[in-house]
Structure 1
Amino acid sequence: MKPIFLTGFMGSGKTTIGSLLGKRLDWPVVDTDHYIEEKYDQKVAEIFALHGEEVFRGYEASILPELPQQDAIITTGGGMAVSAENRKYMLENGFVIFLSCPLDTIFERLKEDRSRPLFNHEKKIEMEKLYDRRLPLYRDCHWVLETGGYEPEETVEEIAARLARSDFGQTGDKQ
C-alpha cells in the first residue's frame, strides 16, 4: 500500500498519531523534520536561524522522493503542504490525511513548547493568520480528520477502521 502522509498545522497531532498508527499497522514511521535534521546534521530551529525558512522548505521538497514508497507512515512538518509541488507529490504517491484541529486547542497543546521556529505564543493574531493561510492548502488532501477533542487512540482507530473497509482514499472528502 502507498504510504500515508499526515499533514496539518503544528500541534495537530501528526507525530503522536503517526507513532501510534505505525505501531498499530506495524509500519515504519518517518518524521520529515527528523529526517531533515539527520540528513543535514542540524535541528530545524538551527536551519531556520542560520539559513532561513526558504532553505528549509527546499530541504522538505528535496527529501520527498527519498521517503518510503509503500507501507509507511510519514508525518510531515506543518509547512510541508505549503508548496503546491509537495502537495502534488504526496497526493500522487500516497494517501494524504489532513489532521484538522482548532487553533485554540493547538495553543493549549503547545503552551509549553518553545522548540517550533514559526510558532509564537505571544503573537496569537500572527499565528491565526498563518493558520488561516495554510488551512486551504491542508484541505488539498484525500481525507480530513478532526483531531481536536479526540484522544490520539480514537483517531488511530478511525484510520484503521477505514483501512479495513478498503475505502481509504475513496472517501469523497477531497473536493
Structure 2
Amino acid sequence: MNKVYLVGFMGCGKSAIGKRLSFFTKLPFYDMDHEIVQKTGMTIPQIFATYGEERFREMETEFLQTFRDEMCIIATGGGVAMRKENRKLMRESGLVFFLDAPFRDIWRRIATDKNRPIVHRSTRSEIEKLYHKRYEAYKESAHFIVQTRQRSLSKVTEYIAFQMERLSSKPTIIASHQDTAGSPQK
C-alpha cells in the first residue's frame, strides 16, 4: 500500500476524515482540490469559469498521474471517480475507500457552500441526480465501501486506520472485503 484515497460525493466527509486519519496514522494528508488550487493559483470556481469543468477534470487526472510517490492520504475531488482512467490509477497505486453518505446528510453540508461551483449553479434535485449518477463509479473505484450514516468521524477514521494496518503487511490488496456494516466491496 502506498497511497490511501478517499472518494465520494462532495460533502461526504473526505477532507474531515482525511485530516483525522493523517493525525491518527502520522501519514501526510493532501486534499486534491487544494493541491490543484495551489498549483494553478486559482480557486475551484475560477478554474471552472476560466477553463470549464472538463479541463478541471483533466487536472484531476494529471494530479493522479504525477503526484509524488509517497505513503500518504488523499481526499479526492467529488468527480474524480467518474473517469475510468482515474479509477484505475487509484486502485493500482493505493487503497481506495468510498465514504458512502446518504444524500440528505450531504445536502445539509453543501447547500450553502460558495466554493462548490456545481452546487451554486444547480438545484437540489439536479445535485441529487448527480449524486445517483456518480454512485456506481464510487463503488467501482473502491476497495472498501464505508457507510458513514450514524457513524462519528472517529468511528469512520478508526475503521479505515484498522483496514490500512491490516493490509499494510500484505503484498497485494485483496479484491473483496466487507466493512463492519456488511456492505459488499469490490
- Fold agreement, TM-score > 0.5: yes
Query: Structure 2: how far apart are the matches of 1:38 and 1:164?
Result: 31
**In 2, Cα distance between equivalents of 1:93 and 1:118:** 29
Q: How many Å apart are 1:45 and its aligned residue?
A: 0.8
* Stretches of 4+ aligned residues off by more than 6 angstroms: none
Cα offset, 1:119, TM superposition: 1.6
Aligned length: 175
Judge which range, 44-53 or 63-72, deviates more. Answer: 63-72
Alpha-carbon RMSD across the aligned residues, in angstroms, is 1.8
The answer on whether the counterparts of 1:107 and 1:121 sit within 8 Å (CA) in structure 2 is: no
How many angstroms does 1:153 deviate by? 1.1
Which stretch has the larger CA shift, 114-123 or 91-100? 114-123
Secondary structure in structure 2 of the residue aligned to 1:118: helix
Taking structure 1 as reference, are residues 109 and 121 closer, same or farther at Cα in structure 2, changes over 3 Å only? farther
For residues 12-43 of structure 1, the C-alpha deviation after alignment (integer angstroms, 9 at most, x for no partner) is 00000000001111111111101111111111
The DSSP-based 3-state class of the residue aligned with 1:96 is strand
User: How many angstroms apart in 2 are the aligned matches of 1:157 and 1:124?
Assistant: 32
Whole-Å separation in 2 of the counterparts to 1:81 and 1:103:
17
Whether 2:36 is the aligned partner of 1:25: answer no
Q: Relative to structure 2, which stretch is displaced further, 160-169 or 38-47? A: 160-169
The 5 A counterparts of 1:5-84 are 5-84=5-84
Distance of 1:38 and 1:22 partners within structure 2: 20
The residue that corresponds to 2:106 in the other structure is 106
- After the TM superposition, which of the residue ranges 115-124 and 54-63 deviates more from structure 2? 115-124
Matched residue, 2:148 = 147
Distance 1:120-1:150 versus aligned 2 partners, 3 A rule: farther
Letter aligned with residue 158 of structure 1: Y
Any idea what the Cα deviations from partners look like across 1:141-167, whole Å, max 9, x if unmatched? Answer: 100001122211111011122233338
Contact 2:111–2:119 (8 Å) recurs in 1: no
AA aligned opposite 2:165: A
Give the C-alpha shift of residue 100 in structure 1.
Answer: 0.5
- What is the CA-CA distance between 1:114 and the residue it aligns to? 2.0
Gaps of 5+ in 2: 178-183
